Amino acid sequence: MSTTVPVTANVKKRKLELFEFFYKYGTILTIILLVGVFAATNPSFIQTTNLINILRSISIVTIIAIGITISLTVDGFDLSVGSVASMANAIVISMFVWFSQDTLIAILAAIGASLVVGALNSFMIVKLRIPDMLMTLATMFIIQGIALTYTKGATVSQNMVMPDGTFATGLISPLFAKIGQVPWIIGIMAVIVVATHIFLTYTKHGRYMYIIGGNKEAARLSGISVNKYKVLAYLLSALFAAIGGIVLASRVMTSEINSGSPYLMDAVAAAFIGSSVLGAGKPNAFGTFVGAVLIGILQNGLIMMSVPYYAMDIVKGTVLALALAITYYKQKQ
């Protein structure tokens, strides 16, 4: 009897240590494993051109996911980012094609409209106390409908046929077209990740947001303006969704119907996966980037293995489910 208890305790301790190890390093180990498997299957996977292609492909996802990450820091959750990206995409292209505006005006118009959405979300959540997820879900459908109404359900592109039968005469600026190209698209992503990491980790405002996310009432009692930081979180979330939509517009040079919506699930997965990277235990910019890298490697590798496109969502959904399971299991420990 005297030896059974210590042995049982040691077994439990080892299991806990093993879980902690995989919680901390599991995502990075998975990335290394996937790179090895895909490289063995197809050596061209690790060629420089393909690695750059992966970084380019995850740039928009990462930018949008950073917005979700910021909303998560205050214990919120912004589901409207995909629709906001679609709207920003439609507005910035239409500014060029329909109204012949210059690059600055087109970008500011898209960002301005997106910040209005962020302000609406924050007002309804902070003042009317509507739960974050429910409000941003409603906003997602509203903005999706507004974007469709604005474009009349059509693809906006140069030389498109207008409702009156004439052709659009506006041209997309060559300067704007560079934003979606390498190395600019990767550089924009890197700057946003680094700037957000510094903001959340090394400024008092970022620390306040983490405190609010950890214990809202304790933050309020300590003098932190909870409502102000929740408003800031949703404005930043909308801003990064807008930037993602603008970069997407520059990359494809058109505005497709609901073009930003497919990025929502990838962005959510990246943000939740990132919470466990290096044992952070909280939403963070670097972890979100690593999560996006994992998704990008998975998607790129599966395509190179000729896995049907319709199976991609199964894989990404499974990855998201595992990330959520690990995150919430850890929170209960």
Partnered with residue 161 across adjacent β-strands are 167
What is the domain partition of the chain in residue ranges? 27-331
Q: Is the pLDDT of residue 98 over 90?
A: yes
320 vs 142, higher pLDDT: 142
The pLDDT assigned to 22 comes to 77
The pLDDT assigned to 164 comes to 87
Question: Given 1.10.3470, 3.10.450, 2.60.40, 1.10.3720, which CATH number is that of 27-331?
Answer: 1.10.3470
Q: Is the pLDDT of residue 4 over 60?
A: no
Displacement of CA 297 from its chain's centroid (Å)? 16
The pLDDT assigned to 331 comes to 61
C-alpha pair distances (Å), 297 with each of 149, 171, 234, 290? 36, 35, 29, 10
Mean of pLDDT over the chain: 92
Which residues 6+ apart lie within 8 Å of 281 measured at CB? 275, 330
Phi, psi of 78 (to 5 degrees): -100, 105
Q: Is the pLDDT of residue 24 over 70?
A: yes
- Whole-structure pTM value: 0.93
Q: Is the pLDDT of residue 5 over 70?
A: no
71 vs 326, higher pLDDT: 71
Q: Is the pLDDT of residue 173 over 90?
A: yes
Q: Which pLDDT band holds residue 3 (cuts at 50, 70, 90)? A: low
Give a three-class secondary structure readout of 8-68.
Answer: HHHHHHHHHHHHHHHHHHHHHHHHHHHHHHHHHHCHHHHCHHHHHHHHHHHHHHHHHHHHH
Are 94 and 148 contacting, i.e. CB atoms less than 8 angstroms apart? no
Q: Which pLDDT band holds residue 315 (cuts at 50, 70, 90)? A: confident
Among the listed residues 210, 194, 199, 215, the one whose alpha carbon sits nearest the alpha carbon of residue 289:
194
Q: What is the mean pLDDT of residues 138-167?
A: 94
Q: Is the pLDDT of residue 13 over 70?
A: yes
Among the listed residues 269, 295, 297, 271, the one whose alpha carbon sits nearest the alpha carbon of residue 285:
271
The pLDDT assigned to 266 comes to 92
Partnered with residue 156 across adjacent β-strands are 255
190-243, pLDDT tens digit by residue? 999 999 999 999 999 999 999 999 999 999 999 999 999 999 999 999 999 999
C-alpha pair distances (Å), 165 with each of 161, 162, 257? 6, 5, 21
Task: Report the chain's C-alpha Rg in angstroms.
Answer: 22
Q: Which pLDDT band holds residue 184 (cuts at 50, 70, 90)? A: very high
57-89, pLDDT tens digit by residue? 999 999 999 999 999 999 999 999 999 999 999
Partnered with residue 255 across adjacent β-strands are 156
Q: Which two tokens stand for residue 291?
A: 């999560």
Which residues 6+ apart lie within 8 Å of 49 measured at CB? none
Q: Is the pLDDT of residue 155 over 60?
A: yes
Percent of the chain scored above 70 by pLDDT? 96
Q: Is the pLDDT of residue 1 over 70?
A: no
